[in-house]
């Protein structure tokens, strides 16, 4: 039995399901998860001493690659001065200014400690600011596990949301309305029915929690127009896409200006950080300036801010996003070619440092229902074959893949060669 398997058995006796976040348990692909010992550059190393080219990157934040020396040095220097003060620090101001400089729609920024906190707080603010209760989200998009957002569509179009987990009161979930990603008509229909009750639309600008689905050309601008017409706020959830698809996030890449933005993962450089921000007039509604309550003992933690700021400074170097995009494109095209040569139908989406592949005969994947119709069994088989070849992909057909600047040409070629081998074995 491997060390990972042994640890997993032991973990299950003290941690629910053996993990501190469900997708880590390999439920999406079967088998026992790898327990990780360390990571460096493009590689992670498990407790059995095996190394893998990593396309999870801690689910997104490792844009620079693992264990980047600039981030490590910043963290070590910050630790020298103490871990947490619960009082304002200069580095929080520097961080907020940096975020505003890179994402100009975020005129004011409030730091939190996770993506979930960021979206939960942004939704409360949107409700408080507009005085409306309902929100619109999209099927297949994930925004963390706050009660308002862990809601699925009711049966049939235009019905009120239903809890997607026990523990969320139906009375609460009914305020969440669900539309279809890349389908403006489905959003317009909700606004026709509930327009003056809707506080906000929250959207992943590139959906990364149903594999990887970029927005259609008019989708995000269409949401902006609907919000302008109805007084609802547009929240762009860039927890995954911020500083990953472009320096200014997906909103810069697709040229759309939200009222509020949520960030996470990447701005922590690997430490637990999230943020929300937007128009000053809206952010003024947050306590202590305004009446909408929001707080956090460890918010703006100095060690986390140091890591995040070091990451953002490194990402500001010229050419970073061009290099990242070129690497992603090279990998995507290589995987597609290898699949074609093996006679395996495969569709690929990619933007910036994000990608997704789908076992399907359809040419283009733009909708959630298409994702649900892909060959999941084939994905599971491919997943384990790739693992054997030393390539660590996200253990679910519903997650995006992430590249880093540390992935070398050699790493990408090795990955494509491994995939070619695995496609033939399918
Ligand atoms: N929003 C998006 C778009 C996400 O992808 C995630 C997490 N993957 C979250 C919010 C929640 O972030 P966290 O896991 O840090 O709470």
Nearest to 286 by CA among 122, 141, 56: 122
Work out the percent of the chain whose per-residue pLDDT is above 90: 97
pLDDT surpassing 80 at residue 158: no
**Tens of pLDDT, residues 408-424:** 999 999 999 999 999 99
Dump pLDDT digits (tens) for 350-389: 999 999 999 999 999 999 999 999 999 999 999 999 999 9
Contact 286, 272 (CB under 8 A): no
**Residue 160: which pLDDT band, with cuts at 50, 70 and 90?**
confident
CATH code of 41's domain? 3.90.1150.10
Q: Give me the residue label for tokens 């880590």.
A: 24
Residue-level pLDDT at 241: 98
Same domain, 293 and 388: no
DSSP 8-state code for residue 403: -
DSSP codes, 98-113: HHHHHSTT-SEEEEES
As a whole number of angstroms, the distance between CA 198 and CA 158 comes to 13
Give the phi and the psi of residue 132 in degrees, each rounded to 5: -115, 155
Substitution site in 143, 181, 210 for ligand 1 pocket (most atoms within 8 Å of beta carbon) = 143
Tell whether ligand 1 has an atom less than 6 A from the beta carbon of residue 209: yes
Average pLDDT over residues 40-67: 98
286 and 157 in a single domain? The answer is yes
**182/297 same-domain check:** yes
- Position 325 scores a pLDDT of 98
Q: Are 205 and 223 in contact (CB under 8 A)?
A: no
Res 154: pLDDT: 77
Q: Are residues 232 and 349 in the same domain?
A: no
Q: Last residue of some domain: 296, 315, 334?
A: 315
Residues 264 and 251 in one domain: yes
The DSSP code for 199 is E
In the predicted structure, residue 7 carries a pLDDT above the cut 80: yes
Distance 353 CA to ligand 1 centre (A): 17
The token duo for 168 is 């969320």
Instruction: Name the residue at shortest CA distance from atom 2 of ligand 1.
Output: 143
Closest CA to 258 of 239, 281, 237: 237
Last residue of a domain, one of 315, 349, 380: 315
Tell me the C-alpha distance between 52 and 361, whole Å: 29
**pLDDT, tens digit, for every residue of 233-264?**
999 999 999 999 999 999 999 999 999 999 99
Q: Verify that 218 and 334 share a domain, yes or no.
A: no
Is 137 annotated as catalytic? no
pLDDT in tens, 164-191: 999 999 999 999 999 999 999 999 999 9
Is the confidence at residue 156, as pLDDT, over 90?
no
Residues 414 and 375 in one domain: yes
Asked if 182 and 152 sit in the same domain, the reply is yes
pLDDT at 159 over 90: no
pLDDT > 70? residue 157: no
Residue 233's pLDDT is 98
Mean pLDDT across the chain: 97
Asked if residue 87 and residue 18 are part of one domain, the reply reads no
Of the residues 46, 54, 183, 237, only one is catalytic, namely 237
Annotated active-site residue 237? The verdict is yes
Range of the domain at 95: 69-315
Domain co-membership, 267 together with 308: yes
In the predicted model, what is the mean pLDDT of residues 193-217? 97
User: 3-class DSSP state for residue 212?
Assistant: coil
Q: Is 383 exposed, middle or buried, given 0-12, 13-18 or 19+ CB atoms closer than 10 A?
A: buried
Residue among 181, 208, 240 whose CB has most ligand 1 atoms within 8 A, to mutate: 240
Q: What is the CATH number of the domain that holds 74?
A: 3.40.640.10
pLDDT score at 293? 98
Q: Which of 282, 297, 315 is the last residue of a domain?
A: 315
- Distance CA(12)–CA(10), nearest Å, equals 5
Ligand 1 close to Cβ of residue 238 (< 6 A): no
Q: Say yes or no: CB of residue 396 within 6 Å of ligand 1.
A: no
Do 262 and 116 fall into the same domain? yes
**pTM for this prediction:** 0.98
231 and 300 co-located in one domain: yes
Q: How many domains does the chain have?
A: 2
pLDDT above 90 (res 392): yes
Determine the average pLDDT of the residues in 68-90: 98
Q: What is the pLDDT of residues 310-328, one digit of tens each?
A: 999 999 999 999 999 999 9
């Amino acid at each position: 039995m491997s060390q990972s398997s042994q640890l997993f058995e032991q973990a299950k006796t003290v941690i629910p399901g053996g993990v501190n976040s469900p997708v880590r348990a390999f439920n999406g692909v079967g088998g026992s998860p790898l327990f990780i010992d360390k990571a460096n550059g493009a590689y992670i190393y498990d407790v059995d001493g095996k190394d893998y080219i990593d396309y999870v990157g801690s689910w997104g934040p490792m844009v620079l690659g693992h264990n980047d020396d600039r981030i490590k040095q910043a963290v070590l220097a910050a630790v020298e001065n103490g871990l947490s003060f619960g009082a304002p620090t200069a580095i929080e101001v520097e961080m907020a200014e940096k975020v505003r400089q890179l994402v100009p729609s975020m005129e004011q920024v409030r730091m939190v400690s996770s993506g979930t906190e960021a979206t939960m707080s942004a939704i409360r603010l949107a409700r408080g600011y507009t005085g409306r209760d309902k929100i619109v989200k999209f099927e297949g998009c994930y925004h963390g596990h706050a009660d308002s957002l862990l809601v699925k569509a009711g049966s049939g179009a235009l019905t009120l949301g239903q809890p997607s987990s026990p523990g969320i009161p139906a009375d609460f979930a009914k305020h969440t309305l669900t539309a279809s990603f890349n389908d403006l008509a489905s959003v317009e229909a909700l606004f026709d029915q509930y327009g003056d009750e809707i506080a906000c639309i929250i959207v992943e600008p590139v959906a990364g929690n149903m594999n990887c689905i970029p927005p259609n050309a008019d989708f995000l601008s269409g949401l902006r127009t609907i919000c302008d017409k109805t007084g609802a706020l547009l929240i762009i959830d860039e927890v995954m896409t911020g500083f990953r698809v472009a320096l200014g996030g997906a909103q810069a890449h697709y040229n759309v200006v939200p009222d509020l933005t949520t960030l996470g993962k990447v701005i922590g450089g690997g430490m637990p950080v999230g943020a929300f921000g937007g128009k000053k007039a809206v952010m003024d509604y947050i306590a202590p300036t305004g009446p909408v309550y929001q707080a956090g003992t460890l918010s703006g933690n100095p060690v986390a801010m140091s890591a995040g700021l070091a990451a953002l400074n490194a990402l500001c170097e010229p050419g970073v996003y061009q290099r990242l995009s070129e690497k992603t494109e090279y990998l995507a095209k290589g995987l597609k070619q290898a699949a074609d040569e093996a006679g395996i139908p495969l569709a690929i989406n990619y933007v910036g440092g994000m990608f997704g592949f789908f076992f399907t005969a359809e040419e283009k994947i733009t909708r959630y229902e298409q994702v649900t119709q892909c060959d999941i069994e084939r994905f599971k088989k491919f997943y384990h074959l790739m693992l054997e070849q030393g390539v660590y992909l996200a253990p679910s057909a519903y997650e995006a893949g992430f590249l880093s600047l540390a992935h070398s040409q050699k790493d990408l070629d090795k990955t494509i060669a491994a995939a070619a081998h695995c496609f033939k074995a399918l």
